Structure 1
């Protein structure tokens, strides 16, 4: 049914494919700079995590040291501000205790002065009655009046002293001066929060730089063989531009089948093939099942009242096994396509 000598048609007729190793283009991730170390050469076999190349880290190291110094300064400022806040709260609390004691003492003085005033009022009333009855002289009444005036003046003096202590606050309220001291401490707390926020931002920036530094060292993403080194020491490296081509240990081959065969296959099916050179069995897994390029289809059948027939590409990844390498021709027969 299918004729021609192109690779697709031959693959459909013979169900054979060339075993190919997957290749990876390796690049530096989001960093740039001058390449200072080329740790591998073409043909080297590398293991996952092995260092392949390094970009000059000088600028990044300097930026990291600068950020660390700035963070250390912020730590010192935060510690100093916290000490200042604690001292402010201590002074406010101490002043509050002292003021409360003074207020209590002054209140006691007022109570004593009022008691004295009451006694002087009683004494004046008593002596005034005695004077009216002629029992005592006028001088005694005058003395009582003078003592009463002194007692009244003393009460007013003690009350004024209390008002000065309260400085406009009502009894039981925090004094304005103490409020100011607490407000000062709260302002320091706000400053500390701002400093901590700045520190957090710089810590995030530091982590970003440390990540960027780690990316200056290019490591093998998996085991494989170096096929090509595209950049040399001393050259400038751009972000995400391939610098190494790595041939992995993952092997696959493609075969092409018709619609009738493709309809019975699905991705994940196990396929039994064989190496054409030594007939060694090769087991693999279907990873891709898709319509083949247009030139693989059977054309010009609509003129005969028939629908075109499509070819399908099957990509099979082989299991790791000894003696199987890239470049071998792998064949698959009808029984192999039914292997699950």
Structure 2
């Protein structure tokens, strides 16, 4: 009742402020005074009207008529607003039981609906087959992908064997070249010794030929041997240098000291190992392609399983959107399923909402079965119906903020559409 009096007072206050405003007064012979007084729990406006002696009865009658209309309008607004469903639910804390619904769809797949053995209002269990699409194209695609995988595996195996053989051949070739280098080093040593000997003989022959101690033919023979020994040394050196091309200075020095070529880096061997590395990179690329194809196969197998629409939970079929033989688009909804998750909404005030926290248990009474149940609060939020009335705080009226509380009930006996009431402890 206090809120009603506040509504009337607010309307009267604005009305008298309007009619007595000097520029817009509709009663030139009416002088109004509107003082405000507060009287205990009930707040009201005390309106004192002083009439001018020149005021006519017609003006007074008009003023009283408008005042009566304002009182009637305020009364209708106050009592009429209490008849909406949200306000009624707030006052008696009851609501109609509703069930969650699920739109069951063919995820990322489509095709012709091959099988549908369900009807509206049919009760289904989790895992039941609801619909089946034609799997011809998907099955062919899976077989093609499997064949591609087998071919890729065979090619990978062939490349792996080729690389292993090539590595073994390069290792053997490297050992052979090290032996050849050691032999060339020995040949160069022999050639150097032969060159020294031939050079000594030539010098002796050259000194003897001047004294005519040896014949000219002996001198020519010594000179020829010296020249041949020099040529053999040069040839052996060139062969050795070509064989050790790419070796480091440390490795060459080791060869000179020890005569061993083991561990020496050779350009030809290095190039062959680079070719093997390139073959290995190509092999890794083939393995990556194989992995992608295997992932593709898994996706196709998943899509194949999705051609069969399975009930995600227990419930009742409300609506079927496709008939057998129809072409179903990917991701399109197949049917609507009413689940066993039942709930109802109540509306409470700011003072009451703190009792309805998420997870709290509340006592619930089913009107139809006259049965007491236990409900679980899912959430509490500001009711959208009252969102546009929060501005009334600025006008000095009562706070009309209301909160919507959703309560879930786990009971197979109650049916959707039944009225549920909350009983506070």
Q: TM-score, normalised by structure 1?
A: 0.83
Query: Is the CA contact 1:46–1:225 (under 8 Å) kept in the aligned structure 2?
Result: yes
CA spacing shift, 1:250–1:163, aligned 2, 3 Å = same
Counting only pairs closer than 5 Å after superposition, residues 17-166 of structure 1 correspond to structure 2 as 17-125=95-203, 137-138=214-215, 143-163=221-241, 165=243
Contact kept in structure 1, 2:120 and 2:318, CA below 8 Å: yes
Query: Residue 414 of structure 2 aligns to a residue in which SS?
Result: coil
For 2:85 and 2:345, locate their aligned partners in 1 and report how far apart those are by CA, in whole Å: 11
Unaligned runs of 5+ in 1: 336-340
1:204 aligns with 2:287: no
1:327 has 2:417 as partner: yes
String of CA shifts for 1:221-267, please: whole Å, max 9, x gaps: 11112222221211111233322111111111222233432354333
Match of 2:299, SS state, is helix
Note if contact 1:8-1:296 (Cα within 8 Å) is conserved in structure 2.
no
Provide TM-score, normalisation by structure 2.
Answer: 0.68
Over 3 Å counting, the alpha-carbon distance change for 1:121 and 1:299 in structure 2 is closer
* Residue of 149, 174, 181 corresponding to 2:266: 174
Instruction: Answer yes or no: is the 8 Å Cα contact 2:343–2:406 preserved in 1.
Output: yes
Out of 231, 236, 258, which is 2:349 matched to?
258
In structure 2, the partner of 1:338 is none
Instruction: Using CA pairs under 8 Å that are at least 6 residues apart, name the structure with larger relative contact order, 1 or 2.
Output: 1
Pick closer, same or farther for the CA change 1:331–1:121 going to 2, 3 Å.
same
* Stretch deviating more after TM superposition (90-99 or 56-65): 90-99
Of 392, 397, 400 in structure 2, the residue corresponding to residue 309 of structure 1 is 400
Other structure's SS at 1:231 match: coil
Matched length: 331
More deviation in 246-255 or 36-45?
Answer: 36-45
Taking a change above 3 Å as real, the CA distance of residues 127 and 68 of structure 1, as seen in their structure-2 partners, is same
SS of match in other structure, 2:300: helix
Within a 5 Å distance, the mapping from 1:156-305 to structure 2 comes to: 156-163=234-241, 165=243, 169=246, 172-176=264-268, 178-294=269-385, 305=396
What is the CA–CA distance in structure 1 between the aligned matches of 2:184 and 2:386, rounded to whole Å? 109
Shift of residue 111, structure 1, vs aligned partner = 0.7
**RMSD of the alignment, in Å?**
3.2
| Aligned partners of 1:9 and 1:296 also within 8 Å | no
Aligned partners of 2:363 and 2:424 also within 8 Å: no
Shift of 1:303: 11
Distance 1:264 1:143 in 2: 127
CA contact (8 A) 2:185 2:240 kept: yes
Q: CA deviation at 1:70?
A: 1.8
- Give the secondary structure class of the aligned counterpart of 1:232: coil
| Pairwise CA distance, 1:108 | 0.8
Could you say if the C-alpha distance between residues 147 and 258 of structure 1 is closer, same or farther in structure 2, counting changes exceeding 3 Å? closer
Larger Rg: 2
Aligned equivalents of 2:157, 2:381: Cα separation in 1 = 66
Matched-pair contact (CA < 8 Å) for 1:17–1:253:
yes
